[in-house]
Structure 1
């Protein structure tokens, strides 16, 4: 496969209240809005924009459950950080719903849940 064929990732996140969710992702995680298509959706970028989140207004949100496994994975994707303690403290101080920090050997991390119950991991 030609490595230049793909250059980024777009992730779609269901939300009930678009404005509140957009504010949460901007304030809690520092995302930047790059496209306003409200009331249906908003697109936010992470860092340099190679990863984008499209927050999509939905009425009935059913959270997927990650299948049981022997790898201790319970979320579909993680945010990476260089300092898990600092990230945990900062998000906690802002009022985010965060779990306790766990040690997974070479990786340490915690769960993060947004306003609509979407689950993410934050790991080193």
Structure 2
């Protein structure tokens, strides 16, 4: 059977303060704000490679981040073999630079793990969600 799905459209991330979270994702991770609704939603492209206002999910088939202001959520994380595991990875070809930025502002204390073809580290974003960064 052929899949009826073509891509992941967006990843919903619950946040406690929409404006503060938008600023954090734009300033800290380099995301680009695409749109924001008064109802508490904001869509961001992970990369700023598109013209302002263009949606990565529509233009180039890349999943976007949609921040959802929520009054009650638990930070996203799970465990595997007793170890914390990030629920989402960001890809970069500049893992050293990404690590330096997140470390400088206290969002990670983890070192870059180098497994040969894969390098990665994990961090906590402003709402306490446990995320990862990888490079391969």
TM over 0.5: yes
1:10-29 maps to which residues of 2 (within 5 A)?
10-29=10-29
1:60 and 2:90 aligned: no
Q: How many Å separate the matches in 2 of 1:26 and 1:90? A: 13
Q: Tell me the number of residue pairs that the alignment of Structure 1 and Structure 2 aligns.
A: 121
Q: Distance in 2 between matches of 1:2 and 1:68?
A: 29
**Secondary structure of 1:98's partner?**
coil
Verify: 1:110 aligned to 2:121, yes or no: yes
> Unpaired segments of 5 or more residues in structure 2?
51-55, 57-61
Deviation beyond 4 Å, 4+ runs, structure 1: none
- Alignment partner, residue 44 of structure 1: 44
Distance 1:33 1:90 in 2: 20
| Contact 1:18/1:39, CA 8 A, preserved across alignment | no
1:90 is aligned to 101
Q: Which one of 100, 113, 117 corresponds to residue 110 of structure 2?
A: 100
User: Residues 65 and 108 (structure 1 numbering): CA distance in 2 closer, same or farther, change over 3 Å?
Assistant: same
Which deviates further from its counterpart, 56-65 or 97-106?
97-106
Structure 1 length-normalised TM:
0.82
Q: What stretches of structure 1 of length at least 5 have no aligned partner? A: none
